[in-house]
Amino acid sequence: MTNWIDIAALDDIPRRGARVVKTRQGCVAVFRTAEDEVYALDNACPHKAGPLAEGIVHGSSVTCPLHNWVISLETGQAQGADEGQVQTYPASVENGRILLDAAFLRTRQVAAE
């Protein structure tokens, strides 16, 4: 069951940008695309844990700021020749507010412990 929690206004993130949400187990990066879709992923690149929230967002991908791996925001999968995947979390927008799934974030915490 989803248990949506209100995180912030959609406009708090620029289009083609990202901000992080802090959790006890490190940061989740919340992305907003040019088309106002939001995605939530672990803020750590599968390559060397680069902070994905600082990358350049294009289409529904982000390019890691450290060594340019391109990560799909939908699947968390590294694109092209690179291999690896980041954890993704349910995220949605309702009435201009960004919602994340509390239950999922908690599972993440358990998994990390």
- Calpha distance 79→72 (Å, rounded): 7
Size of the site for other proteins (CB under 8 A): 46
- Calpha distance 99→6 (Å, rounded): 5
**Closest approach of Cβ 66 to ligand FES, in Å?**
4
Between residues 15 and 84, which has the closer beta carbon with respect to other proteins?
A: 15
> Per rule CB under 6 A, is residue 106 in the interface with ligand FES?
no
Asked if residue 33 lies in contact with residue 40, where contact means CB atoms within 8 angstroms, the answer is no
**Which of 25, 27, 37, 47 is the binder for ligand FES (CB under 6 A)?**
47
Binders of other proteins among 59-98, rule CB under 8 A? 59-60, 63, 65-66, 68, 70, 74-75, 98
- Calpha distance 69→92 (Å, rounded): 25
Q: Which residues pair with 63 in a beta bridge?
A: 56, 70
**Closest approach of Cβ 83 to other proteins, in Å?**
19
